[in-house]
Amino acid sequence: MRQAMKAPLEDIKGKFPPPRRLFIEGIPRLHMDQLVDARYEVYYCSTWSLPEIRRSMLERPSLAVLPQLERSYAGKRDNVTSNVKGDKSDPRSLRDFGQLIRWYRAERTEPYVIEALRRLGNRELMATLSSQVSQNACSATYRDATFLRVKADEIESSLDAAQKELLRYCRMIELHRFHKRLYGVGCLTMLTALSKRPWAYGCRAWRRLNGCTDSARYPQIVTQHSLKTDSKLKSLLYGALPVLIGQGSPYRQFYLERKVSLPVTIKRGRAGRGLYKVSPHAKAVNRVMTRVIDEIRRSCRAWYEAFGQNYRLEKS
């Protein structure tokens, strides 16, 4: 089966000169920004779009129902909804289901978001290396533990420098004053939220992106909130969970009220997994997480309206 073409920007310009509309799927943000800068009108879809469409179709249409001009690959597979693993990266599948896919117009990523992503990536890399070296230093397999301890000290100093750089950047773009009033939310959490561009999402879309929900859509089965979501922001908040629901927290009363009022739910898991019990504590924590993530979105939008729309990094 023919796979999606991975061509450099120069080749795309030569074959499809701008201005032109491009419908793409599964492209990094950096490459999407390059296409937007080259005066292309770029539209993208979720990588889950094609699998969802296939599962939702009751009857799989045959190639016979498609015009001959639109099925140049007739006979190469049984039908256009084949569940072959490579279908979702097949450009002709995007053409076949183009009317059913929800397309989003790409916007140029703001420079301060790109800078935040770069600094967050540097810190994440140092944290990963620090964890790996610490585990190896404790292992009996490695005899030269002195070398690993020296490397661990070097990586720890680099991690501290990356952390201080994040804090400095948060103050430089004046984001710090917007999250100071949010209880339990630090610079790392706020910059992680900023990197997701929350001003481009509505309330429900923002919750879904971060794996939050007010209530399960299906009370009898396990609702997989992690599908099509980014768990980074929620995992950071889970690290501060003792602070968010502890004594002195403004969310403490809200947590206790939900913990008392919400009942235990027994859900049916997938085949072979039996029943799944959702405790009132887990439900109450989910409500607290949803409220905090909503407040983070409102603070980021307030910063964007005050500074972000006209902010330039070179001025700082």
Q: In the prediction, which pLDDT does 265 show?
A: 81
Domain end among 59, 88, 105: 105
Confidence category of residue 77, pLDDT binned at 50, 70, 90:
very low
Domain end among 105, 137, 169: 105
The answer to whether residue 167 sits within a structural domain is yes
Q: In the prediction, which pLDDT does 213 show?
A: 66
Domain end among 105, 128, 159: 105
Residue 115 and residue 99 in one domain: no
The answer to whether residue 162 sits within a structural domain is yes
Residue 100 and residue 153 in one domain: no
Angstrom distance (rounded) from CA 129 to CA 239: 20
The answer to whether residue 51 sits within a structural domain is yes
Residue 62 and residue 99 in one domain: yes
Q: Look at strands 104-105 and 41-45 and give their pairing.
A: antiparallel
Q: What is the pLDDT of residues 156-195, one digit of tens each?
A: 899 999 999 999 999 999 999 999 889 989 999 999 999 9
The answer to whether residue 15 sits within a structural domain is yes
Q: What is the pLDDT of residues 290-299, one digit of tens each?
A: 999 999 999 9
Residue 57 and residue 126 in one domain: no
Q: What is the Cα Rg of the chain in Å?
A: 24
Q: In terms of residue numbers, what domain contains 143?
A: 111-196
Angstrom distance (rounded) from CA 103 to CA 45: 5
Q: What is the count of structural domains for the chain? A: 3
Residue 73 and residue 117 in one domain: no
Q: What is the pLDDT of residues 237-288, one digit of tens each?
A: 988 889 999 998 999 999 999 999 988 887 776 656 677 788 889 889 988 9
Q: In the prediction, which pLDDT does 275 show?
A: 75
Residue pair 169/209 in contact by the 8 Å Cβ criterion = no
